[in-house]
């Protein structure tokens, strides 16, 4: 294959991966930014989204209808689970950074083992809601992957709008900036925390629903998005939403291009190296300002 | 981090101290030992005829091998039931003890350890994934535990393992691919691109198929190793050279369906000849959406998944006993597709264990009896097709601890696999690389 089409395929693969990664990493960045906790179980919300998507697709039968049900109901279920976790666990630890890291490590295993127990050890496939193949002169490409990129873009826009233009967003930003002052001004910080934790989990779950017709739903699938999200969030700046999205595109597209032209292992090595460099030379991340206070 | 609070010292009220825990443990251990010594708990040195023979089954219940594990377990249970109904092994019933190894080499070695020390089994059997075999076999050798794997990797016959490890129920990859190469070169093409997993099992394919196709005057134009943790495959396909005549693929793990689907999206109908190992689609329904492009491509099968027109009586018997329909799926759920080209190895291995135990006069897990069992297994030379060996005739090399059988090439037609070629056993045999019988017991 000549260079042009080769590069085109690399960019297409990279862009689709970047959009899904941006959704997942945005959830992680949001939770860290507002609540100042590191959610190690974030990848499991992604996995739960995928597993629920399989369940709904299986119950409904019709692929398109099943997908529609899944993309609405899975995030709601996962968000509900996140609310319960927030109330039952995180709040009891008073959102202490150290305690919540350990607690979410535990959650990672608990959620994974619950999925293994009730969903089983198999990778199960879900039929794509639309099944068309884009035939380019040099190669074919999955039409559904383009749909994934489109839906992700819309959701990213909606999240951006929600955070910058709505009252809920304002309250979240105020809490992020200084939670004590926010509380003094009558913002129910506890409820904001719960809402943010649920929203972060829902973003990961939607990414899981979108990815499941491409990959399969599998109880151990949460690890990869977790690691990539951490890479993205560290490079972008812990808590910086803009940084997370930009870093997701840098990592996603460079991963696509490097793995097509060189080797997938090299792209992982470079991404990890970039994390190390960022941590050494700019520990607050490329876009993370110094935290308030 | 801004929310820094000094953690309060642990109050420890109501918690169990380390000392108390140790005391409790000691009491339990002491009690157990006392029970063992007490009258009424006399351990019989002499085995009575009805005492079961314990077989430890190392199963991939979870992890990347779970689909294989599920079917290995069903096949094993079916064979054990039949053997026990027919009077067991040397008049003793089989007691099957199944432990999950998580398809993980480290846990694999721990499971072998557990079989030896806790369950005190006579024989360990049933491991599939090559990295788990590589992780477990050395421990089995150290423990002098007879270890019968059903893995198809070349690691047994290569001499990398030990005198206690056998693979008598399934042909190894080196023999499989050597017998495929002549047919591929003659019928599909000589310029081959290989896609394979980037670890031991994939390297067996890479090394031995490359050598075998070169013998046929062909060449491998590109090698595409795929890392074990990969979940997305489209990015590899542009590296396939356009002068490729045959695309050779073999993939395992939870991503196999994604792999084959993405291959179809990339190529559509404008594809080279495709020859795959059925591993790429084991436990996957051939009728899954996105796999239509496979029509007209070819697969290696060790044992035809779809019942063929000339189905043998033994295959009918075996399918019914395991609970598999004519399409290779579970009788209870047509979507639950079996790993038909691998799991027969469990069935056949259990019958071989039975034969070896009976021929050796094995009584109990003593060094002398294990020695007899190993030597009796090594003395075998092969088996005839029948209900105990439904996949077909096999020869066995005691030197290599490895069996050799017929292989099949099937063409995808109308979403099913139709056998177009059956190899002779001799097509796959090779010069021995080792002689385990010379190793100390």
The string of DSSP codes covering A26-68 is HHHHHHHHHH----TTHHHHHHHHHHHHHHHHHHH-SHHHHHH
Predicted confidence (pLDDT) per residue in A50-109, tens digit: 999 999 999 998 889 999 999 999 999 999 999 999 999 999 999 999 999 999 999 999
Using the predicted structure, report yes or no on whether residue B103 has a pLDDT greater than 90: yes
A122 touches chain B (CB under 8 A): yes
Mean pLDDT of chain A: 91
Percent of chain A with pLDDT strictly greater than 70: 98
Contacts of B47 (CB under 8 A, 6+ apart): B92, B363, B364
Using the predicted structure, report yes or no on whether residue A1 has a pLDDT greater than 70: no
ipTM above 0.90, yes or no: no
Q: Which residue of B has its CA nearest to A133?
A: B265
Using the predicted structure, report yes or no on whether residue A293 has a pLDDT greater than 50: no
Predicted confidence (pLDDT) per residue in B172-183, tens digit: 999 999 999 999
Contacts of B12 (CB under 8 A, 6+ apart): none
Rounded mean pLDDT, B383-407: 97
Residues B79, B321: Cα–Cα separation, whole Å: 8
Using the predicted structure, report yes or no on whether residue B336 has a pLDDT greater than 60: yes
Split at pLDDT 50, 70, 90, the class of B14 is very low
Split at pLDDT 50, 70, 90, the class of B38 is very low
Cα angle A97, A102, A106; round to 5:
140
A53 in Cβ contact with A74 (< 8 Å): yes
pLDDT of residue B45: 46
Question: Residues of B with CB below 8 A from A224's CB?
Answer: 229, 231
Token pair for A34: 């507002």
Using the predicted structure, report yes or no on whether residue B20 has a pLDDT greater than 70: no
Using the predicted structure, report yes or no on whether residue A170 has a pLDDT greater than 50: yes
B397 in Cβ contact with B404 (< 8 Å): yes
Mutant choice from A140, A222, A260, A293 vs B, greatest count of B C-beta within 10 A:
A140
Establish, for the pair of chains A and B, how many residue pairs have beta carbons separated by less than 8 Å.
96
B229 in Cβ contact with B198 (< 8 Å): no
Asked if the Cβ–Cβ distance from A10 to B289 is below 8 Å, we say no
Pick from B227, B236, B258: CB nearest A215: B258
B439 in Cβ contact with B162 (< 8 Å): yes
Using the predicted structure, report yes or no on whether residue A241 has a pLDDT greater than 50: yes
The ranges assigned to domains in chain A are 3-18+31-221
Mean pLDDT of chain B: 90
Q: How far apart are the first and last CA of chain A?
A: 55
**Helix residue ranges per DSSP H, B150-255:** 173-187, 200-215
Instruction: Domains for chain B: give ranges and CATH numbers.
Output: 53-172+342-405 (3.40.50.2300), 173-310+410-419 (3.40.50.2300)
pLDDT of residue B25: 55
Pick from B230, B235, B290: CB nearest A260: B235
Give whole-number Cα distances, A199 to A42, A86, A134, A264, in Å: 12, 12, 34, 32
How close, in Å, is residue B441 to chain A by CA atoms? 38
Using the predicted structure, report yes or no on whether residue B410 has a pLDDT greater than 80: yes
pLDDT of residue B227: 86
pLDDT of residue B253: 84
A140 touches chain B (CB under 8 A): yes
Residues A286, A83: Cα–Cα separation, whole Å: 31
Give whole-number Cα distances, A276 to A253, A281, B224, in Å: 19, 9, 29
Residues B237, A142: Cα–Cα separation, whole Å: 14
Predicted confidence (pLDDT) per residue in B362-392, tens digit: 999 999 999 999 999 999 999 999 999 999 9
DSSP characters over A80-145:
HHHHHHIIIIIGGGTT-HHHHHHHHHHHHHHHHHHHHHHT-SS-B----SS--EEE-SS-EEEHHH
Q: Which residue of A has its CA nearest to B61?
A: A121
Pick from B1, B67, B234: CB nearest A97: B1
A170 touches chain B (CB under 8 A): no
Split at pLDDT 50, 70, 90, the class of B48 is low
Asked if the Cβ–Cβ distance from A121 to B69 is below 8 Å, we say yes
Pick from A36, A120, A125: CB nearest B257: A125
pLDDT of residue B37: 45
Residues B217, B184: Cα–Cα separation, whole Å: 11
Using the predicted structure, report yes or no on whether residue B7 has a pLDDT greater than 70: no
pLDDT of residue B32: 46
């Amino acid at each position: 294959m000549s260079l042009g089409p080769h590069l085109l395929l690399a960019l297409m693969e990279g862009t689709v991966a970047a959009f899904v990664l941006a959704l997942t990493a945005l959830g992680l960045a949001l939770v860290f930014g507002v609540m100042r906790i590191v959610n190690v179980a974030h990848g499991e919300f992604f996995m739960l989204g995928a597993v629920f998507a399989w369940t709904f697709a299986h119950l409904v039968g019709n692929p398109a209808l099943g997908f529609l049900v899944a993309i609405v109901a899975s995030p709601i279920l996962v968000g509900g689970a996140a609310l319960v976790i927030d109330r039952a666990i995180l709040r009891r630890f008073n959102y202490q950074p150290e305690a919540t890291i350990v607690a979410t490590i535990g959650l990672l295993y608990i959620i994974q083992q619950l999925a293994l127990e009730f969903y089983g050890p198999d990778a199960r496939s879900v039929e794509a809601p639309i099944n068309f193949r884009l035939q380019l002169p040099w190669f074919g490409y999955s039409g559904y992957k383009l749909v994934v990129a489109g839906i992700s873009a819309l959701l990213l826009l909606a999240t951006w709008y929600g955070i910058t233009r709505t009252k809920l967003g304002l309250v979240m930003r105020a809490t992020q900036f200084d939670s004590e002052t926010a509380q003094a001004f009558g913002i129910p910080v506890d409820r904001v925390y719960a809402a943010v934790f649920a929203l972060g989990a829902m973003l990961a779950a939607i990414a899981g629903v979108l990815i499941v017709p491409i990959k399969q739903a599998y109880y151990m699938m949460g690890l990869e998005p977790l690691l990539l999200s951490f890479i993205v969030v560290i490079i972008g700046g812990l808590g910086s939403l803009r940084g997370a999205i930009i870093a997701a595109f840098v990592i996603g597209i460079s991963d696509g291009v490097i793995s097509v032209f060189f080797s997938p292992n090299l792209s992982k090595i470079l991404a990890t190296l970039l994390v190390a460099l960022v941590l050494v030379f700019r520990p607050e991340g490329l876009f993370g300002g110094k935290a308030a206070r | 981090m801004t929310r820094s609070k000094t953690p309060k010292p642990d109050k420890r009220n109501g918690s169990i101290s380390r000392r108390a825990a140790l005391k409790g443990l000691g009491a339990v251990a002491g009690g157990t030992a006392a029970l063992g010594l007490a009258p009424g708990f006399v351990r019989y040195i002499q085995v009575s005829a009805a005492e079961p023979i314990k077989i430890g089954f190392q199963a991939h219940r979870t992890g990347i091998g779970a689909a294989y594990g599920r079917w290995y377990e069903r096949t094993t249970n079916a064979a054990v039931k039949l053997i026990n109904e027919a009077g067991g092994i040397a008049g003793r019933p089989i007691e099957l003890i199944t432990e999950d190894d998580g398809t993980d080499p480290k846990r694999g070695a721990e499971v072998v350890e557990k079989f030896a020390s806790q369950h005190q089994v006579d024989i360990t059997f049933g491991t599939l994934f090559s990295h788990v075999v590589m992780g477990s076999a050395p421990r089995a050798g150290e423990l002098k535990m007879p270890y019968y794997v059903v893995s198809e990797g070349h690691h047994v016959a290569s001499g990398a393992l030990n005198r206690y490890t056998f693979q008598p129920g399934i042909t190894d990859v080196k023999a499989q691919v050597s017998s495929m190469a002549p047919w591929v070169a003659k019928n599909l093409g000589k310029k081959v691109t290989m896609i394979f997993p980037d670890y031991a099992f994939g390297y067996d394919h890479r090394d031995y198929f490359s050598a075998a196709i070169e013998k046929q005057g062909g060449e491998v134009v590109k090698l595409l190793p795929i890392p074990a943790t990969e979940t997305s495959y489209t990015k590899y396909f542009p590296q396939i050279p356009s002068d490729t005549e045959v695309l050779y693929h073999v993939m395992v793990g939870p991503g196999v369906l994604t792999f084959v689907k993405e291959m179809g999206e990339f190529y559509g109908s404008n594809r080279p000849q495709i020859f795959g190992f059925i591993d790429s689609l084991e436990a996957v329904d051939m009728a899954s959406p996105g796999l239509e492009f496979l029509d007209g491509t070819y697969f290696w099968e060790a044992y035809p998944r779809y019942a063929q027109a000339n189905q043998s009586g033994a295959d009918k018997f075996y399918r019914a006993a395991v609970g598999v329909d004519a399409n290779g799926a579970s009788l209870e759920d047509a979507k639950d597709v079996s790993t038909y080209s691998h799991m027969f190895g469990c069935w056949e291995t259990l019958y071989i264990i039975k034969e070896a135990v009976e021929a050796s006069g094995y009584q109990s897990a003593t060094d002398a009896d294990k020695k007899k069992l190993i030597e009796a297994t090594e003395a075998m030379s092969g088996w005839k097709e029948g209900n105990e060996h439904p996949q077909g005739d096999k020869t066995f090399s005691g030197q290599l601890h490895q069996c050799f059988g017929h292989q099949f090439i099937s063409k995808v037609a109308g979403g099913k696999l139709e056998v177009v070629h059956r190899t002779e056993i001799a097509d796959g045999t090779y010069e021995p690389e080792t002689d385990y019988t010379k190793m100390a017991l």
